[in-house]
Amino acid sequence: MHAQRPCAAPWRAPINLIPTPSLRIDEAMANPATVTKFPGRTILVVDDEEQIRTALTSLLEREGYTVTSAEGPTEALEILRQQPIKLVISDHNMPDMSGIEFFRLIRERHPHVCRIMLTGDPERETIIRAVNEGEVYRFLPKPWNNTTIRVTVYFAFEAIQLEEENRRLVKALRRQLQFVRTLERDFPYLAALARQEEAELLLAQADRAGEE
């Protein structure tokens, strides 16, 4: 079984490339005051250094996101249990546990939460393994570049939105299939009639194809 991908992460190593920002992102970075609030786009920042948490929170709130912070994995997991967080940005080197171990717990308990990791001491093999196993959507270096943070978070939420829409469509399809099965069970003659009409349609198409 393949590991579940966090927010449908499409990237493999090398992972130092970021998508080209859209016009909207360019405009937002040129004039942050024009950025509108993103309802429901909630972010949890996790780092044991207060100045890091404060800087990231300030940057992301200026972009219009709703940001909560925690100083370690234990506090963060409790926040995830209580609040509808959609994206976690966490340091890798923390006292309680590594960022990858922390993200593994998130994937087990909150599989639809997207995960971005900050690290000042990247180990290439660790990074590649974490991405391929679905633990991490993306690694970003410390110290970070503000533009990289903005663009990466923007596209992470684009991926989250697509994943949520896919889940909604799958759920709707399952309801429709269940409805069809109920009809077939309660009204078997309708199912037989539908199969007959389908067979006649296929025969008619075959006849037309033979005449051409």
**How far is it, in rounded angstroms, from Cα 47 to Cα 90?**
6
Considering the domain architecture, whether residues 142 and 194 belong to the same structural domain is answered as no
Closest CA to 4 of 84, 77, 106, 79: 106
- Global pTM reads 0.68
Residue 1 is assigned to a structural domain of this protein? no
The predicted-structure confidence for 74-113, as pLDDT tens digits, reads as follows 999 999 999 999 999 999 888 888 888 899 999 999 999 9
Does 118 or 9 have the greater pLDDT score?
118
Mean pLDDT of the chain: 78
Tally of domains in the chain: 2
Q: Counting Cβ atoms within 10 Å, is residue 99 exposed (0-12), middle (13-18) or buried (19+)?
A: buried
Considering the domain architecture, whether residues 15 and 115 belong to the same structural domain is answered as yes
Question: What pLDDT is recorded for position 149?
Answer: 94
Does 167 or 199 have the greater pLDDT score?
167
Residue 120 is assigned to a structural domain of this protein? yes
Question: What pLDDT is recorded for position 70?
Answer: 96
Considering the domain architecture, whether residues 127 and 207 belong to the same structural domain is answered as no
Considering the domain architecture, whether residues 78 and 155 belong to the same structural domain is answered as yes
User: Looking at residues 160-175, what average pLDDT do you find?
Assistant: 84
Considering the domain architecture, whether residues 144 and 184 belong to the same structural domain is answered as no
Sheet hosting strand 87-91, strand order edge to edge: 66-70, 42-46, 87-91, 114-119, 138-141
Cis peptide before 14 (omega within 30 of 0): yes
Residue 45 is assigned to a structural domain of this protein? yes
Considering the domain architecture, whether residues 52 and 68 belong to the same structural domain is answered as yes
Residue 207 is assigned to a structural domain of this protein? yes
Considering the domain architecture, whether residues 24 and 42 belong to the same structural domain is answered as yes
Domain ranges, residue 42: 6-165
The CATH number of residue 45's host domain is: 3.40.50.2300
Considering the domain architecture, whether residues 124 and 177 belong to the same structural domain is answered as no
